[in-house]
């Protein structure tokens, strides 16, 4: 009996009541507060003493003012003004401003103590302070904006909500047994229009941060947000979400409760909401924890807010193995409001006062209110179908690219450059090395017909890199670096836009080249540059010898001769005559000129004359056409554009480049025909067609036929 009593003494009365069976003899719950509770069951009794609890403090005051800001229902919120003013926090980059503030305070204190007039000095220091503040906050780096977004005194979601709404009531619970304090939801009105407000809530001090879990929601918080989104969708309330979280809470319990599933469910469901949705990043927006309430029609950001897939510290630890590289990571991640607007991820930037939102929370809240009203007026004009399509297209266009378009030169310049460690070879050693290689090649050539395998390629590459470096030094010495960079940007832009190179741009290139050549001799490294260019030329000759290119001169000559013959026989009439003569010679079986009869010899000589006439007339026409083109700037520029356009179009041009080429041809033709008519080229062409021999004057003594002919 005693053992049974001892074993049950630790159980609460409610547990015992819940597990009671038939035979239970108890008392009403109202009388439980008195002393002992005796339960009789199967010949043993249980005694339990109830713990006295504090009386629940009702959140409403005894006599609530109906005109209180936020409405009577605001008393239900546990978010109350802080009893103590938050301590000022100075960021590292703000220390020069603090020094100026201290000087101003010291001078004011001195003026009060001595009674002297220091108003001019104080005014001068205050002017200097405001100018320094303006210069600092208009040229913030990305990592500095990250620090401002994480400022402990930065206004939170509920601060802004109570500043911008006439009435607000907080709604709690995910209807699954839990209310996550890291996400706050509620209904509020702005200028008579009702909105559903949902946002991450950070704490204003250490105690609140622990209670709010530092603004990191659990799955319960996301399910609460989804419940209220569906509620707003059902009743037709526009939704405004405020994002301010380092990320979703990633502890073991949250993962067990389905953190990933809760976020994914929110992402899917938000794209189906039939009411306008606006998201505002008021601090930091970290990864999926921010995106779970951020799939909106419009994404707005405060000026010093950041929105990222991984924090700069995490990115730096992954890429550079140290969190100290976070400033570099913040710059490369493009996480600031202005950068995200350029990438079309964010749709607008809400201004902040100098010093950040914590410098003037009320003013910042009014800017948010103004942005909400303007954006919501725009979205309310859309019907349900347009809203859904607008939200879908906003996210579909993120990260879009088109194949075949060259990369932006600015982005190409910002890519990580390959580290090239070039060890310069002294000129004396280089000369000895080149002579040594030449000797080795010659000796190997004499001893073996197989080309020698030497490390020439590596040395050629090394020398080419050194020549490039010498040219770079020469450009710096001549003071043409800025001109070269500016011209390079223009050329890169023209290539990136797939445009025709402007003749004016070509003129600039030529002008810079001439200017560089004129000033090159005055460069201090001109002698070194010339020596290395000479060595490079010698090495190229050595390379030719080692590859056995000289042995292939006969083959090259035959190929060139065949090409010339093919060009000469391009005329159908000449080719026909040539084939007929070839057949006659073959029919006679002649192997030399002496085997031919006089009539056949005469035909061959006439044929040779005809070919020469055609060739000479063609050359005359081509030369005159070229001189005509060069004499006319208009024709020359158009033909140059055509030459540049054809390679760009490729073998199978699309309709756009094809039309561009056709338009250029139509522009060139009339000008060229007019120039040909006025220059007498037409007569030359008619002489060519009629095979007029008056254009050439052959020596009559040269009517003999050689075997080669």
Q: Which domain holds residue 187?
A: 152-397
So what's the pLDDT on residue 510?
Answer: 82
List the one residue out of 121, 523, 160 whose CA is nearest residue 370: 160
Whether the Cβ atoms of residue 287 and residue 248 lie closer than 8 Å to each other: yes
Q: Round to whole Å and give the CA distance between 106 and 127.
A: 16
Does the pLDDT value for residue 159 go beyond 80? yes
List the one residue out of 656, 664, 606 whose CA is nearest residue 634: 664
Q: Round to whole Å and give the CA distance between 563 and 167.
A: 91
Residue count (the chain): 709
**Backbone torsion region of residue 60, taken as left when φ is above 0, otherwise alpha when ψ lies between -120 and 50, otherwise beta:** beta
DSSP string, 347-378: -EEE---TT-GGG-HHHHHHHHHHHHHHHHHH
Same domain, 270 and 221: yes
pLDDT digits (tens, 9 = 90+) for 260-271: 999 999 999 999
Whether the Cβ atoms of residue 150 and residue 329 lie closer than 8 Å to each other: no
Does the pLDDT value for residue 696 go beyond 50? no
* 550 pLDDT tier (thresholds 50, 70, 90): very low
β-bridge partners, 188: 168, 195
β-bridge partners, 189: 167, 194
pLDDT digits (tens, 9 = 90+) for 554-601: 556 556 656 666 666 666 777 777 777 777 777 776 666 666 677 777
List the one residue out of 298, 74, 291 whose CA is nearest residue 186: 74
Same domain, 345 and 461: no
Same domain, 156 and 132: no
Question: Per the domain annotation, does 455 fall within a domain?
Answer: yes
Taking residues 593-611, report their average pLDDT: 72
* 709 pLDDT tier (thresholds 50, 70, 90): very low
Same domain, 459 and 503: yes
Same domain, 300 and 364: yes
**Last-in-domain residue among 548, 574, 609:** 548
Q: Round to whole Å and give the CA distance between 574 and 304.
A: 80
Indicate the DSSP class of residue 152.
T
Same domain, 329 and 432: no
Same domain, 130 and 158: no
* Phi and psi torsions of 336, nearest 5°: -85, 165
Does the pLDDT value for residue 156 go beyond 90? yes
Same domain, 133 and 222: no
**Backbone torsion region of residue 302, taken as left when φ is above 0, otherwise alpha when ψ lies between -120 and 50, otherwise beta:** beta
Taking residues 117-144, report their average pLDDT: 87
Residue 463 host element (H or E): helix 456-478
- With 0-12 CB in 10 A as exposed, 13-18 as middle and 19+ as buried, what is 650? exposed
Same domain, 122 and 241: no
Indicate the DSSP class of residue 585.
H
CATH code: domain of residue 366: 3.90.226.10
So what's the pLDDT on residue 413?
Answer: 45
Q: Round to whole Å and give the CA distance between 404 and 36.
A: 86
Q: Percent of the chain at pLDDT above 70?
A: 65
* Residues 6 or more apart in contact with residue 149 via CB below 8 angstroms: 283, 284, 304, 305, 306
So what's the pLDDT on residue 200?
Answer: 96
Q: Round to whole Å and give the CA distance between 690 and 684.
A: 10
Same domain, 98 and 188: no
Taking residues 406-418, report their average pLDDT: 51
**Last-in-domain residue among 397, 412, 438:** 397
Taking residues 379-386, report their average pLDDT: 94
β-pairing verdict for 193-200 and 183-190: antiparallel
* 155 pLDDT tier (thresholds 50, 70, 90): very high
Domain count, the chain: 4
List the one residue out of 281, 264, 400, 270 whose CA is nearest residue 347: 281
pLDDT digits (tens, 9 = 90+) for 60-111: 566 767 776 666 666 667 787 788 888 888 888 888 888 888 888 888 888 8
- Lowest-confidence pick of 14-23, 120-129, 143-152, 313-322: 14-23
pLDDT digits (tens, 9 = 90+) for 634-693: 777 777 777 767 766 666 666 677 777 777 777 777 777 766 666 565 665 565 555 444
Whether the Cβ atoms of residue 661 and residue 645 lie closer than 8 Å to each other: yes
* 541 pLDDT tier (thresholds 50, 70, 90): confident
Whether the Cβ atoms of residue 171 and residue 199 lie closer than 8 Å to each other: no
Q: Round to whole Å and give the CA distance between 703 and 17.
A: 136
Question: Per the domain annotation, does 66 fall within a domain?
Answer: no
Question: Per the domain annotation, does 42 fall within a domain?
Answer: no
> pTM of this prediction?
0.52
Question: Per the domain annotation, does 689 fall within a domain?
Answer: no
* Residues 6 or more apart in contact with residue 519 via CB below 8 angstroms: 478, 480
Q: What does R_g of the chain's alpha carbons equal in angstroms?
A: 44
- Residue 83, SS3? coil
Question: Per the domain annotation, does 14 fall within a domain?
Answer: no
Does the pLDDT value for residue 154 go beyond 70? yes
Q: Percent of the chain at pLDDT above 90?
A: 32
Same domain, 388 and 436: no
Whether the Cβ atoms of residue 321 and residue 315 lie closer than 8 Å to each other: no
H helices present in 479-552, as ranges = 481-496, 503-520, 526-546
Question: Per the domain annotation, does 391 fall within a domain?
Answer: yes
Indicate the DSSP class of residue 253.
H
**Last-in-domain residue among 340, 375, 397:** 397
So what's the pLDDT on residue 337?
Answer: 94
Report in angstroms the alpha-carbon separations of 369 from 161, 170, 189, 350, 362: 9, 19, 11, 10, 11
Question: Per the domain annotation, does 405 fall within a domain?
Answer: no
* Phi and psi torsions of 39, nearest 5°: -115, 130
Question: Per the domain annotation, does 71 fall within a domain?
Answer: no
Same domain, 458 and 498: yes
So what's the pLDDT on residue 707?
Answer: 47
So what's the pLDDT on residue 345?
Answer: 93
* Residues 6 or more apart in contact with residue 160 via CB below 8 angstroms: 242, 282, 361, 364, 365, 368
Q: What is the mean pLDDT of the chain?
A: 77
Taking residues 42-49, report their average pLDDT: 58
β-pairing verdict for 36-41 and 44-49: antiparallel
């Amino acid at each position: 009996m005693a053992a049974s009593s001892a074993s049950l003494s630790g159980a609460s009365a409610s547990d015992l009541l819940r597990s009671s069976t038939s035979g239970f003899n108890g008392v009403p719950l109202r009388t439980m507060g008195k002393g002992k509770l005796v339960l009789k069951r199967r010949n043993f009794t249980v005694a339990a003493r109830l713990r006295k609890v504090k009386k629940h403090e009702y959140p409403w005051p005894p006599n609530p003012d109906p005109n209180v800001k936020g409405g009577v229902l605001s008393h239900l919120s546990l978010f109350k003004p802080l009893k103590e003013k938050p301590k000022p926090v100075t960021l590292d980059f703000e220390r020069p401003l603090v020094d100026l503030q201290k000087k101003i305070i010291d001078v004011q204190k001195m003026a009060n103590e001595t009674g002297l007039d220091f108003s001019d000095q104080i005014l001068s220091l205050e002017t200097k302070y405001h100018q320094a503040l303006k210069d600092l906050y208009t040229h913030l780096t990305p990592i500095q904006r990250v620090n401002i977004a994480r400022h402990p005194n930065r206004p939170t979601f509920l601060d802004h909500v109570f500043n911008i709404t006439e009435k607000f009531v907080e709604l709690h619970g995910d209807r699954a047994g839990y209310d996550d304090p890291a996400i706050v939801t509620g209904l509020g009105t702005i200028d008579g229009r009702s909105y559903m407000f949902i946002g991450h809530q950070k704490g204003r001090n250490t105690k609140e941060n622990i209670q709010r879990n530092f603004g990191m929601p659990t799955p319960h918080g996301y399910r609460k947000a989804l419940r209220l989104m569906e509620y707003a969708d059902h009743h037709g309330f526009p939704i405004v979400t405020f994002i301010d979280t380092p990320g979703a809470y990633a502890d073991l319990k949250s993962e067990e409760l389905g953190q990933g599933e809760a976020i994914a469910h929110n992402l899917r469901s938000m794209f189906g909401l039939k009411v306008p949705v606006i998201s505002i990043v008021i601090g930091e927006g970290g990864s999926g924890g921010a995106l779970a309430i951020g799939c909106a029609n419009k994404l707005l950001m405060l000026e010093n807010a950041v929105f990222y897939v991984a924090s700069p510290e995490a990115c730096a630890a992954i890429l550079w193995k140290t969190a100290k590289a976070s400033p570099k990571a913040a710059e490369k991640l493009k996480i600031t409001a202005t950068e995200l607007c350029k990438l079309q991820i964010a749709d607008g930037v809400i201004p902040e006062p100098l010093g950040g939102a914590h410098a003037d929370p009320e003013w910042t809240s009014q800017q948010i209110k103004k942005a909400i009203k303007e954006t919501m007026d725009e979205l309310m004009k859309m019907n349900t179908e347009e809203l859904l399509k607008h939200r879908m297209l906003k996210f579909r266009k993120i990260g879009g690219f088109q194949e075949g378009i060259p990369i932006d030169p600015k982005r190409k310049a910002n890519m990580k450059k390959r580290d090239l460690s070039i060890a310069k070879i002294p000129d004396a050693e280089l000369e000895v090395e080149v002579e040594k290689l030449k000797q080795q090649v010659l000796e190997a050539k004499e001893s073996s017909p197989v080309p020698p395998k030497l490390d020439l390629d590596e040395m050629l590459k090394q020398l080419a890199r050194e020549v490039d470096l010498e040219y770079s030094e020469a450009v710096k010495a001549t003071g043409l670096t800025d001109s070269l960079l500016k011209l390079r940007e223009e050329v890169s832009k023209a290539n990136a836009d797939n445009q025709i190179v402007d003749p004016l741009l070509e003129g600039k290139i030529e002008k810079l080249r001439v200017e560089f050549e004129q000033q090159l001799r005055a460069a201090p490294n001109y002698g070194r540059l010339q020596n290395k260019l000479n060595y490079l030329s010698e090495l190229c000759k050595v390379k030719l010898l080692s590859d056995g290119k000289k042995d292939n001169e006969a083959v090259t000559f035959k190929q060139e001769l065949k090409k010339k013959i093919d060009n000469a026989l391009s005329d159908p009439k000449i080719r026909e005559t040539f084939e007929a003569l070839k057949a006659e010679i073959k029919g006679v079986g002649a192997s030399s000129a002496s085997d031919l009869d006089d009539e056949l010899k005469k035909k061959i000589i006439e044929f040779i004359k005809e070919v020469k006439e055609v060739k000479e007339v063609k050359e005359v026409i081509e030369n005159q056409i070229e001189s005509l083109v060069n004499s006319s700037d208009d024709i020359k520029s158009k033909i140059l554009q055509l030459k540049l356009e054809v390679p760009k179009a490729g073998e199978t041009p699309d309709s756009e480049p094809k039309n561009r080429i056709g338009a250029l041809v139509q522009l060139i033709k009339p000008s060229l025909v007019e120039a040909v008519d006025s220059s007498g080229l037409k007569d030359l062409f008619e002489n060519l067609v009629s095979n007029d021999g008056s254009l050439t004057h052959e020596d009559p003594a040269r009517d003999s036929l050689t075997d080669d002919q």
